[in-house]
Structure formats: C-alpha cells, structure tokens
Amino acid sequence: MSGIPPFVRRAVGRVVLALLAVGLIVGVWNLVIVAFGLKPYALPTPQSAVSAIVHRWSTYQSLTLQTIEETAYGFGIGAGIGFLLGVLMSASKTVQRLVYPALITSQAVPIVAIAAPLAILFGFGLLPKLVIVAWIVFFPVVVNVLDGLAHVDRDLVNLARVMGAKRVRAFLAIHLPATLSPLFSGLKIGATYAVTGAVIGEWMASAQQGLGTYLQTANASLDTEGVFGATILLTAIGVASFLLMVAAETVATPWRTRSTARRGPRSLLRAALGSSPDISRRKGARRWFGSLPGAALRGSRSQSPPPPR
C-alpha cells in the first residue's frame, strides 16, 4: 500500500464508499418488500428492475439517448445564459436591480404551469423541452456567479489596476478564478435537476418518445418493472451529470485539491535550463498586466507631491 499514490488511494476509497451506498439502498429496498409483503406488481425488487433494463435495452436505448440529448442541450443553454446574466448583473447595479426581481418571480412560477403555454408557443418538438430544462438550470447558476463575483478580493483588483490591467484581463485573471467554485456549485445543482426538466417537458410538450413518455405509458399499463427500470436510468443520468461537473471542477480549480502547481513541460524546461521561477513570474505579470508593481510604485512615488515643510 505504501507504493500506491495518495490520489489513487483516495479515489479507490470514494468508489468503495459509493458502492457501499448503492448496496445499502438495494438492501433497504429488498427489506421493505419482505417486511411489508409487497407484491411484484406493487413494488418489484431492484433485481427485477435491472433485469427489465437488460432485457428491454433495445427499447430503452433510443429513449435514453433522447432524454440525454434534451438534458445536455438544455443544461448547456441554461448554464450559458445564467453565467452571462450573473456577469452582467455584477458589472452593473442598475441591471441587477432591474433583472433580479424578475428572475425571482420566474422561479416562483411552477414549472409544470409554464409547460403547457410553452407547448402552445413552440409546438411539441425539441424547443419547449430545452426551454424547460434551461429554465430550471439557469437560476442557481446566476445566483452563485453573482455571489462569487460579489466576494472578489478587492485588494487584488486594486493591485491589478495599479499594474495597468485592462478590465478584460483583470476579469480573466482575478474575477473568473474567484467565481469558479461558486459557479460549479450552481452547475452541480443544475446538472442534477436538468433531467427533471427533461421529464416534465416530455410529459407536457413532447411528440418524441423519451424516458418520461415511457414512464407514463408503463404506468398506465401497470408495468411496474418498466416504470422502475426507467426511473433507474433517469437516476443514472442525473448522477452521471453531477459527476461530470465534479470532474470538470477538479480540472478547472486545481488549487482546491493541490497546494503546489503541477510540474508541466514548461516548468521542467525551466528547471533544466536553470531559469529562476521569480523571473518567469515577473514575465508573466508583464504579459498580463503590462508593468511590475515596483515600477508602478516608483512611478507613483516620483509623481507624489513633496511633503509639507
């Protein structure tokens, strides 16, 4: 075990805990069936639901792909709109005071209530389902981005201004990294709920078959194994979406899991050539901000008025 890297041990531990959690859910499910004497037509065993997925995969496959498409496209649209709105509202207090109450009001409307008007407006194709998914996703993204941008370190912003940074470069170097963690918190929430929006869209405004419409059909025919099989697949889509956001967060915010920077090809080359890391940092500062703090401070000292006698 001593030769195994720490990150491998952590990953294996997390996988084992996840498998134990799934086993606990399956055990409780079977225990409830045995304890209350439930019949298979009322509550099938998890083994029966998984067996239904395996035997009906030719039917489930196209339905699953359709629901994944609606979830992925709607999530991307909602996340993009939410991020842009959060940035605009952070940049302008007037826009924030104008738009924020409307956003809160939009979330107070039940999503099921707006599904029918969307079907009337946009028909029964893909568009109303994308709107419903985006409607669910964008609000947590807006709120978290706005909160992240509101808590940016003002000292770093002032330092960037002293060094001559433009607004775009200051945003990319300071504001954007500071808001990544809140952004991914919103994205993880939205990714989990996006599949719910896809199912609601299929129930209310769909001429195309997906897992949501299959749920309705199986429920009407008392096909409980089919119902729970579709439910398991929908759960898997939601969990997979959440895990994708966790992986993206790990890649985009390495400082949360590492205290030192990864030694990439450029750092290895500098070490081989004997370059000083301080010089590379100063060059990076010049490239980003155009001047060094010392030069800026010297310039400010030279322009300062003489002290009073």
d(CA 186, CA 179): 11
d(CA 76, CA 78): 6
Other Cβ atoms within 10 Å of 281 Cβ, number: 10
Residue 123: what are its φ and ψ, rounded to 5°? 85, -165
Residue 201's Cβ-count burial label (10 Å; 0-12, 13-18, 19+) is: buried
d(CA 187, CA 24): 28
CATH placement of domain 59-253 = 1.10.3720.10
* Residue 257 three-state SS: coil
The residues spanned by each domain of the chain are 59-253
Q: What is the pLDDT along the chain (309 residues), one digit of tens a residue?
A: 556 777 677 878 888 898 899 999 999 999 999 999 999 888 999 999 999 999 999 999 999 999 999 999 999 999 999 999 999 998 888 888 988 998 888 888 888 888 888 888 888 888 989 999 999 999 999 999 999 988 888 888 888 888 887 888 888 888 888 889 999 999 999 999 999 999 998 988 777 789 999 999 999 998 999 999 999 999 999 999 999 999 999 898 888 766 665 555 555 445 444 544 444 455 555 555 555 444 444 444 444 455 555
d(CA 148, CA 176): 9
d(CA 200, CA 112): 7
* Residue 245 three-state SS: helix
Q: Are 79 and 187 a contacting pair, CB within 8 Å?
A: yes
